Structure 1
Amino acid sequence: MPIEIERKFLVSDDSWRIGAMEPVRITQGYFSRQDRLIGRVRKIGGRAFLAIKEKKVGLSRHEFEYETPNEDAEEMLALFCKDALIHKDRFTSRFDGKPWTIDVFDGDNKGLVVAEIELESENEKVSLPTWIGADITGVARYRNSNLARFPFQAWSRPEDWTGRQLESLRAGHIAIKC
């Protein structure tokens, strides 16, 4: 059973760009958000994928991802996800022999830069580059599925949030903590 184990961090400066690989453009949307799982359609470069992910608790979660034809992904994004898409450029940089993924968000999430590292186990020790900021592993508002509905640029302007967003915040579906 495929299990994703990762840690996420805010990025504190642009020094990660030194030696980073050319970015790949990602567009993704979420067609299902239930209590225990999330369904995602993603276009990355010239390929497309469907993923079913267990809602994360801690550092690990089950994730099933399958390649799908680009045309199908385009149609699913247009039909099921059109109002809440994530756009970002994904870079890869190596530190201490390990690959780090750096996502530079665009659109309604412009200004947000997040780094992730995949782990072999939850207990794996990781050396952190100097450009790593706050550890946001497990902070709900930084999950891509939440960023699609409650974008980064709206966080500083709670008066712009819809009633549904504020209701979700009060119900604990969005964690506002840094």
Structure 2
Amino acid sequence: MALEIERKFLIDISRLEKLENGYDIKQGYIQTKDKTAVRVRVNGDEAFLTIKGANIGATRLEYEYPIPVVDAKEMLDKLCGKPIIDKTRYLLEHKGHTWEVDIFHKENDGLIVAEVELESEDEVVELPDWIVKEVTDDARYYNSNLLEHPYSQWS
């Protein structure tokens, strides 16, 4: 069984040094009838189809498969709901963990989050000083929910 255990945080980007080597991600979601998410992601010259189960705390089932980029682009165009998530990701190392810092664009411009994947929910992770607030349990910050309720529309 493939499990994803991750925590998500809001950050103060002014506390970070210059971000380098970011890469653009475009991702969309194929509609499902339950809390399962089917994600299509293009990451430069790579593409993936990911199936995620419902969150239980910081844990959920996750299965990810590489697919041809041309197929992924067609799925984003023809099968995924709009808008498409558009963001730039930066990988930062801190105290033995790799942090993914995502800066969102277009409909979600202004949103910046950091995620860290863990081996277990009770794994101790030292938070960097640029962390402001944990939002792991706040469904508004799920990428799949940002499609229906983009950050730019929050009050």
Match of 1:11 in 2: 11
Alpha-carbon distance, 1:44 to partner = 0.8
Contact 1:30 1:84 survives alignment (8 Å)? no
User: C-alpha offsets along residues 59-112 of structure 1, whole Å, 9 cap, x if unaligned?
Assistant: 100000100001100110000125221000000111112111000000000000
User: C-alpha offsets along residues 20-55 of structure 1, whole Å, 9 cap, x if unaligned?
Assistant: 441010000001233231111000121000011001
SS at match of 1:146: helix
AA matched with 1:107: K
Query: Number of paired residues?
Result: 155
User: C-alpha offsets along residues 105-150 of structure 1, whole Å, 9 cap, x if unaligned?
Assistant: 0000000000000001000011011100110002110000000121
Say whether 1:44 aligns with 2:43. yes
Counterpart-to-counterpart distance in 2, 1:33 and 1:110:
26
Match of 2:71 in 1: 72
TM-score scaled by length of structure 2: 0.95
Farther off after superposition, 107-116 or 35-44: 35-44
AA matched with 1:81: C
- Specify the structure having the higher radius of gyration (Cα): 1
Highest relative contact order (Cα 8 Å, sep 6+), 1 or 2? 2
Relative to its length, the structure with more helix (as a share) is: 1
Contact 1:57 1:138 survives alignment (8 Å)? no
Q: Which 4+ residue blocks in structure 1 deviate beyond 2 angstroms?
A: 13-18
User: Where do 5+ consecutive residues of structure 1 fail to align?
Assistant: 157-178
Q: Percent identity?
A: 45
